[in-house]
Copies of this chain bind each other. A is one copy, B any other.
Amino acid sequence: MNASPTVVVIPGDGIGPEVIDAALKVVRAVLGDELEIVEEQAGYSLWKKRGVTIEDETIERCREADAMLFGACTTPEDPEAKSPIVTLRKELGLYANVRPARSWPVPRPVDTEFDLVIVRENTEGLYTGCECEIHDGVTVALRKISEEGTRRVAEVACDLAEERSGRVTIVHKANVLKLTCGTFKRVAAETVERRGLEWDDEYVDAAAYKLVREPDSFDVILTSNLFGDILSDLAAGLMGSLGLAPSANLGDDAALFEPVHGSAPDIAGKGIANPVAAILSAAMMLDHLGYGEEARIIERAVEEVLREGVRTPDLGGSATTEEVAEAIAERVATG
């Protein structure tokens, strides 16, 4: 653990800055000024000013930091405009996207209590950026699955499974994608077995079905990039709101933490964005930086505040972003 870890903070667009403000307030409540915060710009506002969505120097600063806290960015429609988050995942080798989903004490569409984590491969799959028109009116995209890319993300799933149930569920579509998903399934299974853990597997369609019906039957889900994208939003739906879904993007030398939600331009500036996903992402970051106890304190505070009904409108409440952040920060400071 560094004396004073450096954290690059990228608030981004839309509700990004609002929820990041809230998260930093909670971090300060538990850690004071122990972190060195460097703020950087990325996204739509930067695109309008400079014609890029993220600058090379920002990527460099991220590379040197101990961690990054990312809000949300709007990617311009322009085909030239790159998604900042996809760029960072690729440039910094953030190959594992860890997305915990659990039932919090809030109204949820499905009653079942659950506590699972999706480990999503974060650099391959359909996110290669390799697309072309191979024939008039016929376009193709490359879906890449490599053995090494699968192995390294499987190791992260195993790290989590070791602290949890010891079981990894591999989600794929190897009945259709016999080679690519076949590779993913085989290498993932080999990795889990080598680590002395258990695995089972599901087709991605069956996994979507089972998540709706028995989310409590899952613990650690390991899957490829786009499947993880879809299933983690599904899981956020089960939680009752994307506003509760945090995530970590992990690589060998870098770690970025971000709420799963996007920049939500429709509610930006209204002060009603749910800050919990960003606050829980910050807690995951603290855990990663060696402040495990502080992370637990934040999670407990979130739980209590939600239970008491201090909730933003996405959860049926009437609290503002600031009120929720304030309530959690207070709880953290006293607890």
Q: Which of A4-12, A22-30, A177-185, A302-310 is near enough to bind chain B?
A: A177-185
Which of B127, B131, B213, B231 is within 8 Å of A179, CB to CB? Answer: B131
Which chain B residues lie closer than 8 Å to A140 at the CB level?
A: 142-145, 180
Closest beta carbon of chain B to A15's beta carbon, Å? 15
A254 within 8 A of B: no
A318 within 8 A of B: no
A121 CB to closest chain B CB, in angstroms? 13
Known: A109-B110, A131-B179, A141-B180. A233 touches B213 (CB 8 A): no
How many copies of this chain are found per oligomer?
A: 2
A242 interfacial by beta-carbon distance below 8 Å: yes
Interface 1/0 per residue, A124-148 and B, CB below 8 Å: 0011000111000111111111111
* Inter-chain contact A205/B176, CB cutoff 8 Å: no
Collect the chain B residues with CB atoms within 8 Å of residue A180's CB.
131, 139-141
Say if the beta carbon of A211 comes within 8 Å of chain B: yes
- The answer, yes or no, to whether A331 is at the interface (CB within 8 Å) is no
Task: Pick the most buried of A145, A147, A179, A242: most chain B CB atoms within 10 A of its CB.
Answer: A179
Taking A140-B180, A141-B177, A205-B230 as known contacts, 5 extra A-B pairs with beta carbons closer than 8 A to each other, sorted by chain A number, are A83-B176, A137-B147, A141-B142, A205-B232, A208-B234
- Chain B residues, Cβ within 8 Å of A237: 208-213
With A and B bound together, what is the CA distance between A75 and B229 in angstroms? 27
Minimum CB–CB distance for A323 against chain B, Å: 23
Residues in chain A within 8 A of chain B (CB atoms): 75, 79, 83, 86, 109-112, 126-127, 131-133, 137-148, 173, 175-180, 182-183, 204-206, 208-213, 226-227, 229-234, 236-238, 242
CB pair B177–A209 under 8 Å, yes or no, is no
Distance in angstroms from A318 CB to nearest chain B CB is 19
- The answer on a CB contact under 8 Å between B131 and A139 is no
Selected A-B contacts with CB under 8 Å, 7 pairs: A75-B175, A109-B111, A139-B183, A204-B230, A205-B229, A208-B230, A212-B238
Contact status A146-B142, CB under 8 Å: no
Partner of A144, one of B138, B173, B213: B138
A209 close to B226 (CB less than 8 A):
no
Query: How distant is the Cα of A142 from the Cα of B144 in the complex, in angstroms?
Result: 9
**Residues of B contacting A139 in the complex (Cβ-Cβ under 8 angstroms):** 144-146, 179-180, 183
B236 near A209 with CB under 8 A, answer yes
* Chain B residues positioned under 8 Å from A179 (CB to CB): 131-133, 139, 141
Q: Chain B contacts of A148 at CB under 8 A?
A: 137
> Shortest Cβ distance from A141 into chain B, in angstroms?
4
